[in-house]
Amino acid sequence: MNNRYVTPLTILSLASLIACTPTRVGDQIALNSPAQWHHAANTKTAQTAETADLKTWWQGFNDPLLNELIAKALAANHDLKIATARVREANAMVIVAEAALYPSLDFSLSGGREKRIDRIVGVPSGQGIKLITPTADAVSGGLAARWEIDLFGGRHLEAEAAAAQAEGSQEGLHTAQVGLLAQVATNYLELRGVQQRTGILQKNIALQRERLRTLQVFLKAGLANEADLARQQTLLQSTEATLPLLTSAEQNLIHRLGVLLGESPESLEQRLAVVGQLPLAAPSIPGLLPSDLLAQRPDLRLAQTEVSAAAASLGSARADLYPKLVLSVSGGVGALAVGGFPSLADSVYALGSGLSAPIFNAGRIRAHIAAADARLDQVAANYEKTFLLALEDVENAFVAHRSATDSLGQLTEAEASAEKAYRLVDALYQRGAGNYLAVLDAQRSKLAVSDERAKAETAVGVAMVSLYRAFGGGWTLVSAIDKASILLALSIKPRYGNHWL
């Protein structure tokens, strides 16, 4: 239905219609958040880190090289560059969506020359009459404005959806940053752990060779047999076979760090191949509650923006059921010059309005609404699932950290016992009450425990990194106001029928 004129009564009727037919859809979802962590070592004493420390948690390791590697990764990592470009793209699309809320103004200019030759038909063949008009030059130009009044909020909701998607792209950038920091720290700690184990293994190999040499001397003196010598050769060869595996792991970790830092895989090999110790310090356990994940974890914030965008898209789809009002105005001038006659100039303008409403579209609008509603169901379920996965990440990180810490404590005690046993055996040997092979065996036992202790020490550091990653550490925290608004997602929002209210 198109009307040439829209009366004030019509506009008033539309306004009253708007008040009783809202198209906005709620985006709050009820989440069942536990009050405390189930596997935290001690909720009251273990969670001592300040929330602000989450932004730069890796500095708790007090390792200057790790800090330098992370700084380079934040500046040159290609995943971050891709995510940053996506943010720029999404922000540009917000401008595109918001532009539909304002009038559009177009300028047009045209000109040309025309000469027409007409023939009069209906006369005998060969006797047609030609009519030649003079050459005419025509120039015209003008402005045209058009504005679709957003009566039922469809355009506004489209702009809201675009803004939510832009916010989601920013959270995607934060998610990539959190993952990058955890990958750099994890690979660095594992590299130092492998290098520490390589040093222990090399000492073990040297010890095995010394024991083999001693057995060869004992064999010549009749104090050992061929079986003892064969067993020692087997032990030495199996120990030496482990060294290439650790060397390969070390090189792979260095190559991975190079890619994370935006460099060629071999660029860091010379620098990181220098053996370094595992960091002696470690960050404190972050003091956050399960509900705090909604504000801190960027993947949860991303899932929330997807819900907001889908809710706005559903409202925009509903708005297509209602009439649309368009106002237009145009004006211009033109000039016509024919032959040698003076130019003729004229000016025109037009004002208009139109009202249209859907009557029959073969179910297209209803299907669009149904698709948008299904999309909202998808992202809502994904938001709930993402929250459960976040809880799982934190609980698993607590379990891994606790088990690695317990294992490290036991292995530290075992290493101290092995050291004590070695000293006792060596003291007996020095007094002539023991044999040299017993001393070598005590050293080998001590090195075996030291290797396990190095693995446990690495696991503790990696578990701490996983814990901070699970808490979403590594980016700027939101303000208290923004955090409070996000936590509103814990409130219950009922749903009736097939639509969110």
d(CA 418, CA 287): 37
Predicted confidence at residue 121, as pLDDT, reads 55
Predicted confidence at residue 406, as pLDDT, reads 93
d(CA 276, CA 254): 13
Q: What percent of the chain has pLDDT over 70?
A: 80
Asked whether residue 5 carries a pLDDT value surpassing 60, the answer given is no
For the ranges 8-17, 94-103, 307-316, the lowest mean pLDDT is seen at 8-17
Q: What is the pLDDT confidence band of residue 486, given thresholds at 50, 70 and 90?
A: very low
CA dihedral 217, 221, 223, 228 (to 10 degrees): 40
Predicted confidence at residue 124, as pLDDT, reads 57
Predicted confidence at residue 338, as pLDDT, reads 65
Highest mean pLDDT among 3-7, 322-326, 410-414: 410-414
Inter-residue contact 171 to 309 (CB < 8 Å): no
Q: What is the pLDDT confidence band of residue 330, given thresholds at 50, 70 and 90?
A: confident
Q: What is the pLDDT confidence band of residue 345, given thresholds at 50, 70 and 90?
A: low
Q: At what angle do helices 78-99 and 154-220 cross, to 10 degrees?
A: 170
> Mean of the pLDDT values across residues 276-283?
86
In a domain, 468, yes or no: yes
Instruction: Supply the range of the domain harboring residue 446.
Output: 8-22+29-101+149-322+367-500
Predicted confidence at residue 72, as pLDDT, reads 93
Asked whether residue 22 carries a pLDDT value surpassing 80, the answer given is no
Asked whether residue 322 carries a pLDDT value surpassing 90, the answer given is no
Q: What is the pLDDT confidence band of residue 115, given thresholds at 50, 70 and 90?
A: low
In a domain, 236, yes or no: yes
> Mean of the pLDDT values across residues 20-30?
68
Asked whether residue 134 carries a pLDDT value surpassing 90, the answer given is no
> Mean of the pLDDT values across residues 106-121?
70
Residues constituting the chain = 501
Asked whether residue 336 carries a pLDDT value surpassing 70, the answer given is no
Task: Compute the Cα dihedral for 205, 210, 211, 213 and give only its sign.
Answer: positive
In a domain, 132, yes or no: no
Predicted confidence at residue 496, as pLDDT, reads 30
Q: What is the pTM of this model?
A: 0.81
In a domain, 418, yes or no: yes
Predicted confidence at residue 454, as pLDDT, reads 94
Asked whether residue 457 carries a pLDDT value surpassing 90, the answer given is yes
Q: What is the pLDDT confidence band of residue 492, given thresholds at 50, 70 and 90?
A: very low
Inter-residue contact 295 to 478 (CB < 8 Å): yes
In a domain, 49, yes or no: yes
In a domain, 138, yes or no: no
In a domain, 77, yes or no: yes
The CATH number of the domain holding residue 251 is 1.20.1600.10
Q: What is the pLDDT of residues 347-389, one digit of tens each?
A: 777 777 787 888 888 889 899 999 999 999 999 999 999 999 9
Tell me the sheet residues that pair with 353.
Answer: 327
Q: What is the pLDDT of residues 203-212, one digit of tens each?
A: 989 988 988 8
Predicted confidence at residue 255, as pLDDT, reads 92
Predicted confidence at residue 333, as pLDDT, reads 77
Asked whether residue 500 carries a pLDDT value surpassing 70, the answer given is no
For 258-264, the CB contacts below 8 A with 24+ separation are: 260/73, 260/77, 260/180, 260/183, 260/184, 260/187, 261/69, 261/72, 261/73, 261/76, 261/77, 261/184, 262/72, 262/73, 262/75, 262/76, 262/77, 262/78, 263/76
Q: What is the pLDDT confidence band of residue 497, given thresholds at 50, 70 and 90?
A: very low
In a domain, 310, yes or no: yes
> Mean of the pLDDT values across residues 406-429?
88
Q: Which of 20, 304, 283, 47 is nearest to 152 (CA)?
A: 20
Asked whether residue 435 carries a pLDDT value surpassing 90, the answer given is no
Return the amino acid letter for 445. S
Asked whether residue 241 carries a pLDDT value surpassing 90, the answer given is yes
Predicted confidence at residue 68, as pLDDT, reads 93
Q: Which of 73, 66, 143 is nearest to 104 (CA)?
A: 143
Q: What is the pLDDT of residues 27-72, one digit of tens each?
A: 777 788 888 888 886 544 344 455 547 888 999 999 999 999 999 9
Given phi > 0 = left and psi -120 to 50 = alpha, else beta, which region is 497? left
Inter-residue contact 91 to 317 (CB < 8 Å): no
Predicted confidence at residue 342, as pLDDT, reads 61
Q: What is the CA radius of gyration of the chain?
A: 39
Task: Compute the Cα dihedral for 260, 264, 265, 271 and give only its sign.
Answer: negative
Helix (H) or strand (E) holding 121: none
Predicted confidence at residue 347, as pLDDT, reads 74
Predicted confidence at residue 189, as pLDDT, reads 96
DSSP strand pairing (104-114 vs 117-120): unpaired
- Of residues 258 and 496, more confidently modeled: 258
Predicted confidence at residue 354, as pLDDT, reads 80
What the block records as the tokens of 407 is: 């294992």
Half-sphere CA count of 494, side-chain side, radius 13 A: 2
Tell me the sheet residues that pair with 326.
Answer: 148, 354
Q: Which of 394, 90, 78 is nearest to 262 (CA)?
A: 78
d(CA 265, CA 273): 13
Q: What is the pLDDT of residues 188-239, one digit of tens each?
A: 999 999 999 999 999 989 988 988 898 888 888 887 788 888 988 988 898 8
Helix (H) or strand (E) holding 315: helix 298-319
> Mean of the pLDDT values across residues 450-477?
90
d(CA 325, CA 149): 5
Q: Which of 93, 86, 79, 32 is nearest to 176 (CA)?
A: 79
Number of domains forming the structure of the chain: 1
Predicted confidence at residue 66, as pLDDT, reads 94
